[in-house]
Amino acid sequence: MTADRLVIAIDGASGSGKSTTSKGVAKALGLAYLDTGAMYRAVACAYLDAGVDPSDTEGVIAATVGADLQISTDPQVEQILVNGIDVTQRIREPEISAKVSAVSTIPECRADLVARQRAIIEAAENGIIAEGRDITTVVAPDAEVRLLLSADPEVRLARRNRDLGGQVDAAALADQVLRRDRDDSKLVNFTTAADGVVGLDCTNLTLDETIQAVLDLVADVRRQS
């Protein structure tokens, strides 16, 4: 790690707080920010708009590989376009949350998006904080700081419910959070910290406390380098 560039990788289950934490840390340190989950969601929009059924593996792969993705890496500007269409708000809708696993559970789709994510990280001149499910182990295993955020299921469900403005019922919420975690865990381990990855349980931490814990870890790493 140099004084001029820093890469931070954060993984975690749905509702663990990785997105809000990552944005806060990025703003505090003047880093770019990459929400890799938004890329999977954008591709879900692409395959649905193309009339591809989630069970059509080859169709989902084709939609993924052929998708023109543009994503903001400014932590203060949330915007993602797929094939020229702004899907920033749509990717958070329940329909996309229910259908995104069709992308994230296909190895060929993950490989395509991982390559794009690595390119974005490499292009971040001053450094970047990237978050998702396989950032610490697959996308950026050489990141200077690697963390795995965790929280109890009840807390994660409550957080996601707040994110969605209470628009989904309990069954749909559990499906979005817990079922997606089960689906994605078939390909990626984001529940146990790999070697060299620091685990941070934020069940009983506020957002500000979680952000500060990450900033403290970054400071420790910098002192040791």
Burial class, 122, CB count within 10 angstroms (exposed 0-12 / middle 13-18 / buried 19+): exposed
Q: Taking 60 as the threshold, does the pLDDT of residue 3 lie above it?
A: no
Q: How confident is the model at residue 47 (pLDDT cuts 50, 70, 90)?
A: very high
Give pTM, 2 decimals: 0.86
Tens digits of residue pLDDT in 99-153? 998 999 999 999 999 999 999 999 999 999 999 999 999 999 999 999 999 888 8
Q: Where are the domains of the chain?
A: 6-224
CATH domain 6-224 topology: Rossmann fold (3.40.50)
User: Residue 26 in contact with residue 130, Cβ under 8 Å?
Assistant: no
How far is 165 from 67, CA to CA, in rounded Å?
29
Rounded CA-CA distance 173/163 in Å is 11
User: Which is higher by pLDDT, 173 or 199?
Assistant: 199
